[in-house]
């Protein structure tokens, strides 16, 4: 700090007011407005709490900042406002980040008008600042104008990781950090988040910010009011679009439930094929469906599985309470690459591995990454050999549902754009979101059962004929109906549809609950008006398998559409939830009568594995 600075401390209304003049006779603002940006898990929220000296922002092992949040406080005689923004994956390009997160990051500087005095670019010292990290920072900062760098300071967090090293030594050891510090005019500060009550490190940070403020021609980063209005209009349009998607899905689900009432048939087996790009979470989905860790979800192994020899379909079977569930995971493809012919052949081979054919194709999409037009074309190309009929069996499963937190899956769909919306239309608006840290899969099985019912028990099958290329056939499991019978059934369906439309209420009542799931124990929210269920503890797997079996065998009634995360749909605008309520700790009571009384004892489970050749390919 400059020696020529002068300080005054005044008392006003019993409080201490900071007053200081810097070189040049400037008096710093008494209300400092700060915005924090940076990669996910860089400890932005913890840094905000350290600056304010209180727990203003939620901190957890999971993602906690999904929308911009604001905190206020009196710190070292100054009034401080801190805006925390959602982070991006440290190795994601701007193109990779989903539209919903980009909009929130861009909106962060408009939450403290007329503009922030300082932007704190948060970088955790636990991670190497490599080339991909540098590119990610550079591209995400391009969401603002070039003037942002004049008001930006690097805030290093987790200073305890330096140990005996100085931060200057760490900067000198990495070219990326040298570039970043120079880009910010050699302005940086280190916070040790473990020393939560160390006021000196915060005071030094605020003094550095005031020196930066004194050296800038403009007192704060200039925001465009016109651009702010555009962001507000986009947000409002997105909320309306999300509500429309929610309404359409609800209407279609209700109508189909009425059309196919009473047409469910007992199923003794279920065959599923997982399709999606690399790192979409296919292995995780497979494990959740089979209620066991049968697919390898190792992230490191995927780095070495990028060639044809190791990219093979993997098959797992588990008997879940006398229902044989078969899941085939197909190889993924890298983002922004053309689908090679061998991959299409391998997906075709994967379908033949669950003879006589799959009931359902689950198209796995990670919420944490953008879905583009290229992604849509890649999925269409992979499924092209199955003909257009394949879409009757398709459903989208979104992974990383935790990324949404209090936001609904419909908000994500609305924000992501037309490519994703067109894919969902092809899948007849069937979708579901799974969280990474546990939660319910029962609604997913219910939706899969609906698809089987709507397809009249038909499955997409492959048959090998000697000397001929593999051909896809459409196999009917039901006897051929006479024309008179078809006419009768058609009239019945029309009558049901008309009845459903006539009874349709003006405003649907959709449940709005928060995200469930944790590493140790999670509660399952009420789903679709059904009875509550239980997750966690030693009996969970047994009851879950029993419940799944009941849906598959005896056809429980279709549910009201609740297409949000873990069958939850949050209807309130996320801009009204800056001070959201904490997750409830209450765990619902177990559902009574999961299965017939005579089936009290679980069968021993059977696990079998099958893959083409001996090399397995894992996607998550």
Lowest mean pLDDT among 3-7, 126-130, 363-367: 3-7
Tell which residue, 222, 231, 224, 221, has the closest CA to residue 99.
231
pLDDT score of 606 more than 90? no
**C-alpha separations of 54 from 38, 44, 189 in Å:** 21, 14, 20
Percent helix, percent strand, percent coil in the chain, to nearest 5? 35, 15, 45
Confidence of residue 90 (pLDDT cuts 50, 70, 90): confident
CA 118 to chain centre: 30
Confidence of residue 51 (pLDDT cuts 50, 70, 90): very high
For the segment 95-101, the average pLDDT, to the nearest whole number, is 91
From residue 417, how far is each of 198, 224, 380, 422 by CA, in Å?
Answer: 45, 25, 17, 9
What confidence tier does 519 reach under pLDDT thresholds 50, 70, 90?
A: very low
Partners of 607 in beta bridges: 318
Say how far residue 82 (Cα) sits from the centre of its chain: 25
pLDDT tier for residue 439 given thresholds of 50, 70 and 90: low
Say whether 247-460+477-570+581-611 and 6-223 share the same fold.
Answer: yes
Percentage of the chain beyond pLDDT 90 is 43
Q: What does the alpha-carbon distance between residue 93 and residue 134 come to, in Å, rounded to a whole number?
A: 10
Give the alpha-carbon dihedral of 548, 551, 557, 563, to 10 degrees.
40
Instruction: Give the confidence band of 497 by pLDDT, cuts at 50, 70, 90.
Output: low
For CA atoms 535, 540, 544, 547, the dihedral sign is negative
Q: What's the pLDDT tens digit per position in 162-221?
A: 988 899 999 999 999 999 999 999 999 999 988 877 889 999 999 999 999 999 989 899
**Residue 448 parent element (H or E):** helix 442-454
Binned at pLDDT 50, 70 and 90, residue 103 comes out as very high
Average pLDDT over residues 380-385: 94
Mean pLDDT, the chain, as a whole number?
75
The pLDDT score that the predictor gives to residue 62 is 67
pLDDT band at 568, cuts 50/70/90?
Answer: very low
Residue 434 in contact with residue 536, Cβ under 8 Å?
A: no
Whether 229 has a pLDDT exceeding 60, the answer reads: yes
SS3 18: strand
Which stretch of 28-42, 103-117, 248-262 has the lowest confidence by average pLDDT? 248-262
Scored b (16 or more CB within 10 A) or e, 181-210 reads bebbbebbbbbbbeeeeeeebbeebbbbbb
User: Is the per-residue pLDDT at 239 higher than 80?
Assistant: yes
Provide the residue ranges of all domains of the chain, joining segments of one domain with +: 6-223, 247-460+477-570+581-611
Residue 450 to residues 246, 263, 392, 443, Cα–Cα distance (Å): 18, 10, 11, 10
What pLDDT does 402 receive? 81
Q: What are residue 65's phi and psi, to 5 degrees?
A: -110, 95
pLDDT of residue 552: 47
The topology under which CATH files domain 6-223 is: Rossmann fold (3.40.50)
Question: What kind and span of H or E run contains 107?
Answer: helix 99-107
- Has residue 406 got a pLDDT over 70? yes
CATH superfamily of 247-460+477-570+581-611: P-loop containing nucleotide triphosphate hydrolases (3.40.50.300)
pLDDT in tens, 36-45: 999 988 999 9
Look at residue 125 and tell me whether its pLDDT is greater than 90: yes
Q: What secondary structure does DSSP assign to 64-93, as a single string?
A: --SS-EEEEEEETTEEEEEEE---B-TT--
Residue among 231, 258, 293, 62 nearest 575 (CA):
231
Asked if pLDDT for residue 27 goes beyond 90, the answer is no
pLDDT value at 390 more than 90: yes
Higher model confidence: residue 400 or residue 473? 400
Model pLDDT, residue 52: 94
Instruction: Give residue-wise pLDDT tens across range 298-325.
Output: 754 444 444 444 488 999 999 877 779 9
Q: Using CA atoms, how far apart are residues 234 and 415, in angstroms rounded to an integer?
A: 9
Split at pLDDT 50, 70, 90, the class of 64 is: low
Q: What pLDDT, on the 0 to 100 scale, is given for residue 79?
A: 94
């Amino acid at each position: 700090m400059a020696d020529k600075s002068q300080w005054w401390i005044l008392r006003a209304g019993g409080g201490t007011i900071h007053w200081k003049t810097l070189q040049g006779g400037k008096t710093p603002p008494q209300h400092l407005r700060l915005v924090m940006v940076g990669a996910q898990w860089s400890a932005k929220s913890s840094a905000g709490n350290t600056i304010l000296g209180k727990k203003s922002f939620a901190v957890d092992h999971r993602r906690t900042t999904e929308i911009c949040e604001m905190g206020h406080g009196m710190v070292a005689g100054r009034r401080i406002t801190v805006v925390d923004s959602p982070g991006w994956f440290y190795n994601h390009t701007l193109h990779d980040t989903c539209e919903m997160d980009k909009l929130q990051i861009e909106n962060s500087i408009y939450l403290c008008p007329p503009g922030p005095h300082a932007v704190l670019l948060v970088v955790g010292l636990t991670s190497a600042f490599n080339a991909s990290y540098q590119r990610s920072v550079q591209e995400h900062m391009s969401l603002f104008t070039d003037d942002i760098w004049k008001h930006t300071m690097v805030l290093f967090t987790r200073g305890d990781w330096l140990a005996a090293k100085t931060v200057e030594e760490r900067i000198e050891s990495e070219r990326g950090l040298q570039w970043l510090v120079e880009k910010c005019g050699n302005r940086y500060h280190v916070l040790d988040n473990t020393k939560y009550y160390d006021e000196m490190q915060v005071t030094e940070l605020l003094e550095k910010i005031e020196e930066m403020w004194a050296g800038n021609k403009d007192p704060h980063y200039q925001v465009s009011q016109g651009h702010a209005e555009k962001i507000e209009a986009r947000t409002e349009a997105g909320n309306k679009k999300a509500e429309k998607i929610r309404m359409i899905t609800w209407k279609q689900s209700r109508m189909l439930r009425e059309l196919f009432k009473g047409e469910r048939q007992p199923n003794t087996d279920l065959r599923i094929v997982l399709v999606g790009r690399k790192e979409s979470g296919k292995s995780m989905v497979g494990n959740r469906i089979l209620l066991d860790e049968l697919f390898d979800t190792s992230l490191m192994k995927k780095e070495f599985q990028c060639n044809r020899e190791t990219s093979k379909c993997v098959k797992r079977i588990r008997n879940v309470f006398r229902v044989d569930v078969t899941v085939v995971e197909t190889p993924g493809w890298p983002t922004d690459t053309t689908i090679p012919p061998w991959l299409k052949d391998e997906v075709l081979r994967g379908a033949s591995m669950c003879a006589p054919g799959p009931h359902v194709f689950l198209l796995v999409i990670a919420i944490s990454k953008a879905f583009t037009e290229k992604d849509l074309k890649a999925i269409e190309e992979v499924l092209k050999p199955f003909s257009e009929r394949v879409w009757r069996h398709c459903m989208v499963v979104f992974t990383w549902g935790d990324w949404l937190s209090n936001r609904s899956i419909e908000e994500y769909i609305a924000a992501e754009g037309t490519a994703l919306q067109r894919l969902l239309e092809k899948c007849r608006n069937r979708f579901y979101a799974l969280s990474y840290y546990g939660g319910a899969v029962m609604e997913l099985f219910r939706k899969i059962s609906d698809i089987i019912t709507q397809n009249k028990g038909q499955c997409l099958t492959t048959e090998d004929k000697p000397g001929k290329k593999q051909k896809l056939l459409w196999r009917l499991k039901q006897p051929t109906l006479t024309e008179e019978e078809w006419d009768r059934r058609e009239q019945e369906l029309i009558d049901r549809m008309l009845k459903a439309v006539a009874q349709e209420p003006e405003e649907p009542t959709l449940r709005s609950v928060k995200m469930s799931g944790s590493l140790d124990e999670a509660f399952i929210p009420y789903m679709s008006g059904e009875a509550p269920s239980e997750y966690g503890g030693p009996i969970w797997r047994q009851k879950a398998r029993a419940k799944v079996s009941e849906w598959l065998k005896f056809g429980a009634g279709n549910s009201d559409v609740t297409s949000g995360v873990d069958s939850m749909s949050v209807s309130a605008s996320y801009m009204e939830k800056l001070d959201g309520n904490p997750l409830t700790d209450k765990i619902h009571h177990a559902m009574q009568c999961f299965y017939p009384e005579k089936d009290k004892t679980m069968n021993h489970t059977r696990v079998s594995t099958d893959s083409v050749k001996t090399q397995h390919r894992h996607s998550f």
